[in-house]
Structure 1
Amino acid sequence: MMRLFIILLLLNGLLKGQTSTQVDTLVNDSKDLINAIKLDEALDVINKAEKMSREINYSLGLARLNVLKSAILVEQGKYDETLKYLAIAKKQADFMKDYYVVAEFYRIRGRVRANLELYNYAVEDFRLQLYYSKKIGSNKKRGLGIFYSYQNMLQSFEWLKQKDSVWKYAHKMEESLSGLGKGNKAFCSVAAYTKIANLNLDKSDLKNALIYNKRAEDIANRENMPKFDIYENYAIINNQKGDYREAGNYYEKAFINSYEFGFIDLTKYYAIKLAKFYNDKDKERSLKFFTLANTLDNSLSESKKKARDKLIEELIISKQEDQKRKTSIIIILCTALILTAIFIFIYKRRKYKRRINYKEALIEESQKKITETEIQNIHLNRKNEHLAKEVEEKKFQELIDFAKNNNPEFLVLFNELYPNLIFRLKELNPRIRNSELAFCALAYLNFTTKDIAEYTFVAIATVHSRKNRFRKKYNIPSDEDFNVWMRELGDK
């Protein structure tokens, strides 16, 4: 009986090992399909592998598969679902065992943040992507991870309008092509050459732009790859030459090509581009593309809104955790300073007593002296108070600027400076939305109805309506100033 039990255990382990190997094979197959832009086929393979992984509780396989699924969804502009599957991947016990998976996690999350215009947070993610990419053991995967890191850093600095950094990472991206395997080199070469061509167009260097764009086009034609970026560059080149008809043809090719490969965000981008391009040339055609852009925008806006809310919530939690860590460090430093002060005091006390024994005449004079340490402490305390005041004033001014620019980071910083109001509002209504919290925050900062309407891009009547709804919901007397009520609530 014991022998039979041992044999069954061995067979189960053997079958499990074989199944995990099969999952890994399917993971590689799905990567190849993604690189070939066969996204629907890749999803079918991923779902099959995911089912097998759940049956044998293969944690690393589930982490890899959910990251791959996120890679497809981010290209389709489904940001809310992308963040959902990234969260599932990160929860897997073996998530950190594969640096390629970790690097991909930060690459994809950075893409989402960048597309939601949270560029500084995106750069943080891309730096982490580069860090983990360099730790990957496989030369092929390491080279690919480093290339994508440089590509994403370039794009982020382009959005932040830091041209020197853009060209720095453009050169790094081109240099990194030599470290890629044959299967990935074609796809990455097209991306690199197309981008460098576009950067040359920004400098009106048509000669180098054409050289790089032609390199990209030759590879894309040979490998049957998407060419929308290449077509866009040709459109810009012809537009600069004054050949508007040919420029329009290339923009339309880019629009069709992006749609054929399922890149909905890019399809919307090209529809807007075409609507603006034809605005003063062909009104009917311009209206056609404007309508198409609106149709695409409606399908993407809900996903973007959910993703943005989820990211803001994550950022608030991250800020709170950072604040806790900073508080702990301050407590440790203060404790160390107190212990040091006690030690200095004891040492000085003993020294002072020794001096009394043979120089009593100097006691009165010694008591009048202020030690150098005490003077330094006084200066240091004054300096620290001054610095703390400057930091607080700078943060408050930054908060006001965020409010006036309707910046999505406004609520994050407000929660850091005035956490009590957010806490009280959530205590009154646990289901309160971020947009409602932001509205109350503006009232707390004593913005007028006119200011709130202007900075949030709504009518004054809409602001009055929102205030009335808050009055009913939280029983705010009609004769009490709304802003004063919010201030008193936050100061309790």
Structure 2
Amino acid sequence: MNFTKRLFVTLLFIISLSAFASPSNNPLMQKGWAALVKDNENEAFGYFWQALEKAKKEKNTADKAESLLYLGICSYGSSLEKGLQFVTKSLNEYKNLEKTDPEKASVGRYKCLQLISTIYVRQKKYDEAMELSTEVVDGLKDKNDKSGTLGLAYNSLGSLHELKNERFEAEEYYTLALEEFEKTKNIAYLPSSYCRLGEIAKEKDFKDESLNYFKKALALAESSENKQAQVTALIAMGNWQMQFEEDTAQAENYFNKARIIAVPLSDKTFEIKTIEALIELKKEQQDFEEVSKLQHQIIAIKDSFFSYEREQIVKSLEVQFDVSEKNRKLELISAEQKVSRLTNFLLVTVLIVLILVFTILFFFLKRINKRDKQLLKTKEELVNLMEEQKQLKEQQFQNDIEHKESQLSAITIQMLEKNELLDEIKTILSKKEPTSEKDLKKLVSKYTIQDNNWKDFDNYFESVNKNFYTRLKQKYPEISTNDLKICALIKLNLSIKEMASILNISPDSVKTARHRLRKKLQLSTEENLTDFILTV
């Protein structure tokens, strides 16, 4: 492959990076991309791998697919196979995303296809690469693509047609790419397009137009710190000096600047391009000794490139291991923190529950205590009320007894007074005529023996002395009615004289009646009749 074609391949690589200069809002991927643009591949790989692990943990399919895509971009410069593995996994994840976010899945798929196309170019699978880039164009040309993937596909197709010496088609695709990049204001994409259009203008001997494109490419590459694009633009300007100005000194100056920038780059193909440009220059100057030295340098770089690839693979594995270890430690810390938070939560919950239980218990006991106090107070009031009622009833009962006793006493006195009056009448009448005296005595005796007063006496006596007569009759069945009268008068604690007056008999008759009563009551000579009657 001649120098021009090798330059085209280099441009394809630059284009492949610029197409993905706008990652999602994921901070880890943004940091990774910033590091990758500055050719800090190990640092970039670390950020992309952290983003992948985080996406797996959060089960975020979109971030998982994108982080795999950027791991492919980061890896294929040192290992095409590794890059292809990552982008294939990304393609599968975007396929899983089709159900939940078909738009993002579609854009992601086209990004993956374009990266695979770039890898195929480096593997010299130009037909397969063109087929994939064509599919990307067909899928995005009628859509408002803001990812820059459509412009990248145009650029890739332009370079592939140029490799086939199809200048017209190449220029057409480069122009479409430039329009697409300018429309979407993707500054990171423009340097490669300017370089390609500048190369075409240079081949047409459009001196000023081609130089203007190269200057624009260099200015944008420097402003975006895209070192790979800077190398390509400087080589292009050196070649322009050799073709139009034949100023080999200025051209060598451009090549040396490009080589200084390319030496620290991880992709040694850029350093090789600068050395090849210097070889072409030295051939023009016929400095074959220097040409030989430069060729040996290229051989040394290519020899070291394979070991570098292995070294990069080892470093990427180390980064994966470090990230995995960090994630494991973070997970352990997170688990400990989770257990601690759970423990604290349980303790706080138990404390709150205990406080609630004690609060409820306190108010419950307080309520019970209040209720008990209220019940006790009510009971006391009820007892006091019952005591008052009892006292009132006792007082009323006592009043009734006193009233009935007074009534009984009154009747007794009335009987005494009546009988005394009748005795006086008898005495008076005993002094008058016998015939009238006889009739009067009969009338008085008839009045005296009437039971009306005794009936009233018995009623009042029974109300004061409940069942007195009944108890005596039950205990002593032989007792007579007159005996019950004697017992009632003894109960009233009347004297023999008073009993004789009430009964209208002589005191001796009362004594005789009392004697007979003692026998019926079966009392001994030592027992007092009055005391016995009072106990009944």
Q: Normalized against structure 2, the TM-score is what?
A: 0.47
Residue in 1 aligned with 2:113?
Answer: 106
Say which is worse superposed, 65-74 or 153-162, in terms of deviation: 65-74
1:162 CA drift (Å): 0.8
Say whether residues 1:68 and 2:70 are aligned partners: yes
Contact 1:190–1:217, Cα closer than 8 Å, also in 2: yes
- Counterpart check, 1:78 vs 2:85: no
Q: Please give the per-residue CA displacement for 1:256-309, whole angstroms capped at 9, x wherever unaligned.
A: 3233343322222332332343245333432332122112323456999xxxxx
Q: State how far apart, in whole Å, the 2-side matches of 1:55 and 1:299 are.
A: 38
Q: 1:135, 1:40 → 2: CA distance?
A: 38
Counterpart of 2:242 in structure 1 is: 239
CA distance in 2 between partners of 1:210 and 1:223 (Å)? 20
Residues 400-425 of structure 1: CA deviation (Å, up to 9, x unaligned): xxxxxxxxxxxxxxxxxxxxxxxxxx
Query: Does the 8 A contact of 2:158 with 2:170 survive in 1?
Result: yes
Whole-angstrom CA distance in 2 between matches of 1:24 and 1:203: 45
| Secondary structure class of the residue paired with 1:117 | coil
Which letter maps to 1:163? R
Question: How far off is 1:29 after superposition?
Answer: 4.2
Stretches of structure 1 lacking an aligned partner (at least 5 in a row): 1-21, 305-492
How far has the Cα of 1:108 moved from its partner? 1.4
What is the deviation of 1:72? 2.1
Answer yes or no: is the 8 Å Cα contact 1:95–1:101 preserved in 2. Answer: no
Secondary structure at the counterpart of residue 140 of structure 1:
coil
**1:159 alignment counterpart:** 163
Question: In the TM superposition, what whole-angstrom CA distance separates every residue of 1:381-416 from its partner, at most 9, and x where no partner exists?
Answer: xxxxxxxxxxxxxxxxxxxxxxxxxxxxxxxxxxxx
User: Aligned partners of 1:36 and 1:129: how far apart in 2?
Assistant: 27
Aligned to 1:274: 278
Aligned partner of 2:326 in structure 1 is none
- 1:242 and 1:135 map into 2 onto residues whose CA distance is 45
Read off the aligned partner of 2:218 and give its amino acid letter: E
| Shift in alpha-carbon separation, 1:23–1:188, aligned structure 2, 3 A | closer
Partner in structure 2 of residue 207 of structure 1:
208
Shift of 1:209: 0.9
Q: 1:121 aligns with which of 102, 124, 128?
A: 128
- Pick the structure with greater CA Rg: 2
Q: Match for residue 334 of structure 2?
A: none
Q: Which has the higher contact order (CA 8 A, sep 6+)?
A: 2
How far off is 1:77 after superposition? Answer: 4.4
Name the count of aligned residue pairs: 277
Structure 2: state its 5+ residue gaps.
Answer: 1-23, 310-536
Give the direction of change, closer, same or farther, for the CA distance of 1:60–1:218 in structure 2 (3 Å limit). closer
CA distance in structure 2 between the aligned counterparts of 1:53 and 1:158, rounded to whole angstroms: 40
Picking from 173, 176, 182, the partner of 1:172 is: 176
Q: Which of 140, 164, 169 is the aligned partner of 2:146? A: 140
Once the two structures are superposed, the pairs formed by residues 37-436 of structure 1 within 5 Å of their partners are 37-74=39-76, 76-92=77-93, 94=96, 97=102, 98-134=105-141, 139-141=145-147, 144-181=148-185, 185-226=186-227, 227-240=230-243, 241-279=245-283, 281-300=286-305
Aligned residues: percent identity? 13
Letter in 1 for 2:220: I
TM-score w.r.t. length of structure 1: 0.51
Structure 2 counterpart of 1:233, one-letter code: A
Distance between the aligned counterparts of 2:296 and 2:126, measured in 1? 29
**Whole-Å separation in 2 of the counterparts to 1:78 and 1:287:** 29
Distance 1:242 1:300 in 2: 34
2:141–2:150 CA contact under 8 A, matched in 1? yes
2: CA distance, partners of 1:78 / 1:169: 29
Partner Cα separation in structure 2 for residue 244 and residue 116 of structure 1: 34
3-state SS of the aligned residue for 2:263? Answer: helix
Residues 259 and 33 of structure 1: CA distance in aligned 2, closer, same or farther (over 3 Å):
same
Distance in 1 (alpha carbons) for counterparts of 2:258 and 2:305: 20
Cα distance between partner residues in 2 of 1:99 and 1:136: 11
CA distance in 2, matches of 1:45, 1:136: 31
Q: Which secondary structure state, in structure 1, belongs to the residue aligned with residue 158 of structure 2?
A: helix
CA RMSD after TM alignment: 2.9
